[in-house]
Amino acid sequence: MVERFQDEGTADQAPARPASPASIRVQRRIEWPDTDASGMYHNTAAFRFIEVAETALLDRLGFVQKIYGRHPRVHIEADFLRPLRFRDLVDIELRVAAVGRTSVTYDFEMGANGEVAVKGRAVAVLLTRAGGEPEAWPDAYRERLMTAGPQAAELLQMG
């Protein structure tokens, strides 16, 4: 269940909470293609998982189809703090840290069993078209990125 807060509280409603940047939590398992010969995940799997979380977030915000193919990552950095292993259930948390004129910066963490394994930051830029020039974020998208708060999680279910 996702909590939604109205802009204004009334006498019989709780007051509105301040808006917070958009964020999401998704889960994935470390699968065979994500691992190297040691059975531990390959660092590139972390970057793929970030894109999975970003896609889910932009889908929840309602504009993934409008920017798909013209929103490349231009910078990414990560600290790898502990290994993840084959079949680990991984929580990926992605949060909007900043929205520039044409860019969005995400902070992310991923881990398993309550322990952070990777944390970092990624920057993506909105382009006019695939391979085009940077384009300013439309006001409606900028507002959603900066104020939509936590979005419904995408969790794996057993069974």
Predicted confidence (pLDDT) at residue 14 exceeds the cutoff of 70:
no
Strands (DSSP E) along the chain, which ranges?
Answer: 20-29, 73-80, 89-99, 103-112, 115-125, 148-150
Dist CA 42 CA 97 (whole Å): 26
User: What pLDDT score does 98 carry?
Assistant: 98
Q: Which two tokens stand for residue 50?
A: 């970030």
Domains defined for the chain, CATH in brackets: 21-150 (3.10.129.10)
- One-letter identity of residue 36: D
38 — pLDDT class (breaks 50, 70, 90)? confident
Reduce the DSSP state of residue 113 to 3 states and report it: coil
Dist CA 123 CA 102 (whole Å): 10
pLDDT > 70 fraction of the chain, expressed in percent and rounded: 88
How many C-alpha atoms does 36 have within 13 Å on its Cβ side? Answer: 9
17 — pLDDT class (breaks 50, 70, 90)? low
Distance between first and last Cα of the chain:
21
User: What pLDDT score does 79 carry?
Assistant: 98
Dist CA 119 CA 102 (whole Å): 24
User: What pLDDT score does 18 carry?
Assistant: 67
User: What pLDDT score does 159 carry?
Assistant: 58
9 — pLDDT class (breaks 50, 70, 90)? very low
Give phi and psi for 156, each to the nearest 5. -80, 145
Dist CA 134 CA 131 (whole Å): 9
The single residue listed with the structure tokens 């999401």 is 24
What's the mean per-residue pLDDT of the chain? 89
pLDDT > 90 fraction of the chain, expressed in percent and rounded: 84
Write the DSSP symbol of residue 4.
Answer: -
For the segment 51-71, what is each residue's pLDDT rounded down to a tens digit? 999 999 999 999 999 999 999
